[in-house]
């Protein structure tokens, strides 16, 4: 039986509805991990470091997809809750067209300025050349990557989360097959380019297939069609999604800061070790991100329908499940630190030891991360982009950036690994403060 946005959600119904988006994000992270595995084990340590050095910049460019996806979803879901489906579809079409045009612009600018950007991030010599080679190929598919990120939210609004998962799997399989064929079989000097091509092709699939689906006749509540330019609607979507823009962009900027600090305190091995941690942590963070994406349209719908009882129900159940999940994830991350480190960098004993010791500290952040990520998404779904953006900005650009700069002065390289743990703990407390402060305004507590 299908689950609709207007339903009352029990624990079971909530899990069934969000499971496709969680699976979608997990699978996305898994094929990113596979990509990293092939680059590290077949292309080598320097290309692997290059991918992890330039990837934060690529993710910054793609943040417009997160912003228009989550912010647009909140507005479109609210419009459906107000019983105006024609306007909801017009807004959906507007956001998709704007995102694609911006993707083309960012792709051109990224290709032109990639070398000086990589140099600014600290890349030199062979590392710089690898950054430029990989980055230019991947950035060329940026319009589709932005759409892929955006449609991950809108598939849920369309009440077709399972289809979103299928598209994600298709993109992931494309990437994996491309890695096998282009990384393992090509000559050594072309393996990194092969990995980049595989990633770009997966993004074309992930963004192009939904584009075709929503343009054609389909059984969802969303369709691409005629629209008109509405600056106020775009501004509202950007405001709603500002937290996701801030969060994604800030995480990328913090990633760059991580890499610069690691180059200073641990050299190229530090960047490679951090790359392993980020690939693995992506799988765990994917659960929190997927859950937030999955619940956002439901929260937005009931907010639009002024159903405060259901908002209270959704918040209570979400916090309970996320706290339990956080403990389980932290324990799992600690248990998997050794085997996953061996999988990526087992060929280099010194690098493997650095990765294992760092990951055991780094993994503690999962105890706190889920609540702050959901809290930011919760306020976005309530069309309160300002509060959401404040949580995201303080969590990353203030707490994480501050601890990354300060703690290494006191504890050396271990201070870099502790930085995220301390920052996530502070964001955890901040999120509960905002939830309590806003409870009367939205009536969810």
Q: Supply 422's token pair.
A: 């301390």
For the chain, give the mean pLDDT. Answer: 86
pLDDT, one tens digit per residue, over 243-282 is: 666 666 777 777 788 888 888 888 878 878 887 888 778 7
Q: Is residue 135 part of a domain?
A: yes
Q: Is residue 5 part of a domain?
A: no
Residue that the structure tokens 């010791």 belong to: 357
Q: Is residue 445 part of a domain?
A: no
Domain containing residue 286: 11-440
| CB-based contacts of 245, cutoff 8 Å, min separation 6 | 63, 64, 66, 67, 238, 389
Q: Is residue 4 part of a domain?
A: no
State the Cα–Cα distance between residues 54 and 122, nearest whole angstrom: 10
Count of domains forming the chain: 1
State the Cα–Cα distance between residues 260 and 210, nearest whole angstrom: 37
Is pLDDT of 1 > 60? no
Confidence class for position 138, pLDDT limits 50, 70, 90: very high
Higher-pLDDT residue of 330 and 248 is: 330
Is pLDDT of 309 > 90? no
Q: Is residue 147 part of a domain?
A: yes
pLDDT, one tens digit per residue, over 45-75 is: 889 888 888 887 888 888 788 788 878 887 8
Q: How far is CA 166 from CA 24, 30, 71, 200, 212, in A?
A: 8, 14, 23, 18, 14
Q: Supply 85's token pair.
A: 């489906």
Higher-pLDDT residue of 141 and 169 is: 141
Q: Is residue 2 part of a domain?
A: no
3-state SS assignment for residue 359: helix
Global pTM reads 0.69
pLDDT, one tens digit per residue, over 77-126 is: 888 878 888 888 899 899 999 999 999 999 999 999 999 999 988 888 89
So what's the pLDDT on residue 192? 92
Is pLDDT of 24 > 80? no
In 3D, which of 254, 249, 282 has the Cα closest to residue 33?
Answer: 282
pLDDT, one tens digit per residue, over 154-173 is: 887 887 878 888 888 898 88
So what's the pLDDT on residue 2? 65
Confidence class for position 320, pLDDT limits 50, 70, 90: very high
Q: Is residue 430 part of a domain?
A: yes
Is pLDDT of 32 > 80? no
Q: Is residue 6 part of a domain?
A: no
So what's the pLDDT on residue 244? 66
In 3D, which of 225, 237, 213 has the Cα closest to residue 164?
Answer: 213
Confidence class for position 318, pLDDT limits 50, 70, 90: very high
């Amino acid at each position: 039986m299908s689950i609709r946005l207007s339903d009352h959600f029990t624990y079971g119904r909530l899990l069934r509805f969000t499971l496709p988006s969680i699976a979608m994000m997990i699978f996305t992270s898994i094929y990113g991990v596979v990509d990293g595995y092939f680059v590290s084990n077949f292309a080598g340590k320097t290309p692997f470091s290059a991918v992890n050095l330039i990837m934060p910049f690529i993710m910054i460019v793609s943040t417009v997809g997160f912003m228009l996806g989550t912010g647009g979803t909140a507005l479109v879901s609210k419009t459906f809750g107000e019983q105006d489906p024609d306007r909801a579809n017009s807004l959906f079409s507007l956001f998709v067209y704007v995102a694609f045009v911006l993707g083309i612009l960012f792709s051109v600018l990224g290709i032109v300025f990639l070398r000086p950007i990589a140099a600014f991030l600290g890349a030199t010599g062979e590392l710089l050349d690898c950054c430029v080679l990989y980055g230019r190929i991947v950035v060329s598919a940026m319009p589709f990557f932005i759409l892929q990120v955006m449609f991950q939210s809108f598939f849920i609004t369309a009440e077709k989360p399972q289809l979103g998962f299928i598209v994600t799997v298709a993109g992931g399989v494309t990437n994996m097959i491309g890695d096998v064929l282009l990384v393992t079989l090509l000559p050594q000097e072309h393996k990194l380019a092969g990995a980049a091509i595989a990633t770009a092709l997966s993004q074309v699939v992930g963004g192009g297939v939904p584009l075709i689906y929503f343009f054609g006749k389909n059984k969802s509540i969303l369709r691409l069609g005629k629209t008109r330019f509405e600056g106020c609607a775009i501004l509202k979507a950007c405001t709603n999604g500002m937290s996701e823009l801030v969060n994604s962009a800030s995480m990328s900027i913090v990633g760059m800061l991580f890499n610069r600090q690691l180059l200073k305190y641990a050299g190229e091995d530090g960047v490679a070790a951090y790359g392993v941690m980020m690939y693995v942590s992506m799988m765990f963070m994917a659960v929190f991100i997927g859950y937030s994406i999955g619940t956002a349209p439901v929260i937005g719908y009931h907010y639009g329908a002024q159903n405060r009882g259901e908002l209270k129900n959704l918040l209570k159940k979400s916090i309970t499940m996320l706290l339990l999940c956080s403990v389980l994830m932290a324990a799992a991350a600690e248990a998997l630190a050794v085997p996953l480190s061996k999988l990526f960098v087992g060929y280099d004993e010194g690098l493997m030891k650095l990765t294992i010791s760092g990951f055991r500290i780094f993994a503690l952040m999962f105890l706190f991360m889920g609540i702050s990520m959901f809290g930011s998404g919760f306020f976005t779904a309530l069309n309160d982009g300002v509060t959401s953006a404040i949580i995201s900005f303080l969590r990353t650009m203030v707490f994480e950036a501050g601890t990354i700069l300060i703690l290494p002065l006191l504890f050396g390289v271990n201070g870099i690994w502790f930085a995220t743990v301390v920052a996530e703990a502070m964001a955890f407390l901040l999120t509960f403060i905002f939830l309590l402060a806003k409870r009367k305004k939205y009536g969810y507590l």
